[in-house]
Structure 1
């Protein structure tokens, strides 16, 4: 709660000037104790008594008879068979002398409308602004820290959202208040400073003189309740659809005639208060007969496909790269497995855009367009890999490797086909697959001598069946060899320790594989097999060019000499221990994300790896082209997907830039029609550094010496 002096400055910012006779907007909180429950119950009992004291809704709507002659003036009559849940209210309305039943939802609409009417009367007739703050004043006995999003799920079932590393209520900065009452002050405009309070969960701007809501309202992504009744608003901004957590949007007694399709994103909305507005008959009928949920779903499903965003541009990191150096294009993407793409999780996405058939075509189009040498895809089911991706990508010169998560081993063959995992594809005409391995983090952890008796391993690491796929490849043209890693770590925010343990195991296994691969024998025959067809007379012009003669396999002295690429969805931000381990090569045992747990030598001595790694997109940090996110959902927007490379063997040349920022101003979250996953794809082009030739020192010639002698050295 602000002090008085702070409130004055706060009011000045919000209202665009000094006090000047205007009253101060009051922030307030809700105490979550017994007193709140009693007061809240008493308040609603009084409202219910007041509402039931009226016959029908005459008292509720008499003050706006210029808009409608009754509750259903803009709606066609309906029968009980069309009522929500089959319930019929006890109240009735009169239209044309005939009684019309009121369903449960519309009865609640009328109750809220009556409450808004009473609040408006108190603020205008009795000169008592900040009605809602005053109403809750008795409950503000102390400052609480409510989390606007509620508790996070800690379950591990398939219905959990496995693609968001943080729950939507993760509070990075504790905020003492989440509610603001600016009602009844005669405001004509809302200052942009208001929308800097992105933490607001409740905003009251009722009983003012607002004619519109600014587009900046979309910045209040945490809003749960917006009360804007009794203004002069004529239309709603499409950006209001960005507030996907809204549960109550009350707009009673304005001049709104239609609703933007973008409101279809408000899939959690329970009550859209529109009574007292000249709303179009079809929209009015939908909400009266079927309720808010049905109307919002109608807007979502009938919304036209928006124009595509501007293509993502490639950002040049290094110019004047020698043409003699071999280039490698690497692409990574969590494509969102079909079984996770449910309406319950992605209620803001139209059904057509959420279907796997549509999203699959978008994914394939993107893969064709980028034409990378290596594709690292996450959340690919075994069935999709075998039946869909492999056949389609084979026509684009790709061969693939896939492993599902370890739970597939415990399932029947049919059920195992639906388990997702990691799929790696490579251009078969350019590269030879020398070896492939799967790293099952849980299995390795419980079999390590220093971990197998640790409770934290069994309780935290073992239940997570994440994997990584490691491929060892050789270039047909140059003989250069590459280690390509494709991984997907645990997603839960409460398992930060598990993520760094998984990463430690990953790096430990890569080092062991690389030791073996240093001694891998040379490939004797690297010519690409192809079918030959007899040439006909006159076909000389179409004869294919003679392929480049393959170079011999390159040799490497130690495990850090082989070029290394680590790609995937690591579900970790730049301030995590996972990022620290990969970038710094070490995480100490007293790290905050490790100190409370027991994981053998990892928590006794720390976690280390021998490679010199860098995040490819670190080159863009602090620039206008910095990648703002790779995961874009209502409750989480951040970078959690990476392309790591060994700096002693590789250099970054180009990076796929960020999505069009202008397009995102009306896009609350992914997936949608133009972004088929809740993750975006990342891509980089590397060059393999020129290797330093071993210097062959000439044999020393000591001559005959000062005293002469035999030149043969005998």
Structure 2
């Protein structure tokens, strides 16, 4: 519904919206001007939409108090178009007697703020990395035969997206109704075969992500966080969600890792009974991991066993966030890796370990993942009040894990694109300069690890430039709706080599 006063009547977000119109601009033709009264003369003749012989805006109007309203639909839902930009929408509902088919009581209505254009951030390219070749790939094109792509993304749960935490982000851009559409647009645009999301609220998984991604051909798996510590609303608890394309994979098995249960078993085994309550209060943080075993439908042509099933193990986790609990972070990562080692022993299977590890490069959890061990003199090991990390020699694993994005640092050769990506990498750690960018913290905490004896990296989603994000202070912003950036890697299965 169009509102003649839309351009002049500032709502609670008026100043922010004025800035938005200047930044995003209109992406559709036929946007109606409302800079003055009597601007409705071109209604129904908008060249921006093709609605057949019936005008988009019927001739019937409702004029009241200087406002002119035009009916645009009679459906339960309405998606704004380019022609609605700059105007206000009113949704009106009236109760009807089911038998007599007559209205009961007055209509009820809600009115929106002005419709704004969808954000148009610069698309992130897929950069091919194989051997000494570096080139661009179109994200709209499907991955090549025998390859598959994996996306890992902490989407920032609505429960954590508060104005107190992100005061620099406009309130309307923090609202879930805005962010969910922007996030979905971004996620779908990556065309990933496997999607690993963190901080997905249970209600948002059930009501939005699962049904919406189902429309795009994805099957969903979910593991919510446990609730020993959590005190919020049951529906708002977050967790890890893994989606995979039905035409590329079938579901074989799911494992759910609850670090709370592992903590209970650990304390029962090594902590004196008089100290268990204190130990559990330190270890129990409700974090989880979701492990999915999938079978590829694209076959394993090019491997040494073309007739054998091509399985894939995908772990999706969100590790404890508290920076003063370095021992708990390391213990959670070690617990996950020990579980994955058991799967690796029972089945010769490529593995991916994705998620938000809340651990920067050089930390003990990152060292354990990337190097298979922790330096016994690592300063993190000095913080071990429960003695759960002793002896340090036990902090090892045999999975040949490599960080996917370290491929950028290992590339040889020259060229603009290669140098462009290298400038976004930390040469000291071979990891991105950041995957999490807020006003108070900028650093890398998200990773995609893979078993290098069974998988090779074909391409990577380009990294973002911090300077481009700082125009909005930090993340989240109107363009990017999480405080993390998405990571995506395309892999190819190698010929099988028994570990």
TM normalised by structure 2 equals 0.66
Partner residue in 1 for 2:374? 587
Give 5+ residue unaligned stretches, structure 1: 1-294, 519-555, 557-561, 694-714
> Which secondary structure state, in structure 2, belongs to the residue aligned with residue 494 of structure 1?
coil
Following TM superposition, by how much is the alpha carbon of 1:469 offset from its aligned partner in structure 2, in angstroms?
A: 0.4
Shift of 1:664: 2.7
Q: 1:303 to 1:685 in 2, by over 3 A?
A: same
1:249-260 matched pairs, under 5 angstroms: none
Distance 1:659 1:366 in 2: 14
Partner of 2:112: none
When residues 429 and 491 of structure 1 are mapped into structure 2, their CA distance, relative to the original with a 3 A threshold, is same
Question: Aligned runs of 1:294-693 on 2, under 5 Å?
Answer: 299-300=15-16, 302-305=18-21, 306-307=23-24, 308-318=120-130, 326-407=146-227, 415-448=233-266, 449-453=268-272, 457-462=279-284, 464-478=285-299, 479-516=309-346, 518=347, 556=348, 562-588=349-375, 590-599=377-386, 602-604=389-391, 605-621=393-409, 623-626=422-425, 627-660=432-465, 663-691=468-496
Deviation of 1:458 after TM superposition, in Å, equals 2.1
Indicate how the Cα distance of structure 1 residues 510 and 583 shifts in structure 2: closer, same or farther if over 3 A, else same.
same
Structure 2: segments with no counterpart, 5+ residues? 1-11, 25-119, 134-142, 300-308, 410-420, 426-431
Say if 1:325 and 1:689, in contact at 8 Å, map to a contact too.
no
Report Cα offsets for 1:220-276 as digits up to 9, x if no partner: xxxxxxxxxxxxxxxxxxxxxxxxxxxxxxxxxxxxxxxxxxxxxxxxxxxxxxxxx
Q: How far apart, in 1, do the equivalents of 2:447 and 2:311 lie?
A: 21
Q: Secondary structure at the match of 1:311?
A: coil
Contact 1:373 1:427 in 2 (8 A): yes
Q: 1:633 to 1:354 in 2, by over 3 A?
A: same
Q: Distance in 2 between matches of 1:394 and 1:408?
A: 31
CA distance in 1, matches of 2:383, 2:467: 44
Question: How many angstroms does 1:411 deviate by?
Answer: 7.6
Counterpart Cα distance in 1 of 2:168 and 2:328: 31
Question: Size of the alignment, in residue pairs?
Answer: 354
The structure carrying a bigger strand percent of its residues is: 2
Deviation at 1:437, TM superposition (A): 1.1
Over the residues paired in the alignment, what is the CA RMSD in angstroms? 2.9
- 1:340 and 1:394, CA in 2 relative to 1: closer, same or farther beyond 3 A? same
Name the CA distance, whole Å, in 2 between partners of 1:359 and 1:679: 13
Distance 2:227 2:151 in 1: 27
Given the superposition, is the C-alpha separation of residues 662 and 444 from structure 1 closer, same or farther in structure 2, using an over 3 Å criterion?
closer
CA–CA distance in 1 between the matches of 2:144 and 2:16? 53
Provide the rounded CA distance (Å) in 2 between the counterparts of 1:416 and 1:354: 21
| TM-score (ref. length: structure 1) | 0.47
Q: Could you tell me whether the CA contact under 8 Å between 2:434 and 2:442 is conserved in 1? A: yes
Instruction: Answer with 1 or 2: which has the greater Rg.
Output: 1
SS at match of 1:336: coil
Q: Do the aligned partners of residues 658 and 596 (structure 1) sit closer, same or farther apart at CA in structure 2, a change above 3 Å counting?
A: closer
1:438 is displaced (CA, Å) by 1.1
In 1, distance between residues paired with 2:206 and 2:374?
Answer: 39
SS at match of 2:324: helix
Distance apart, 1:600 and its partner CA: 5.2
- 1:100-111 correspondence to structure 2 within 5 Å: none
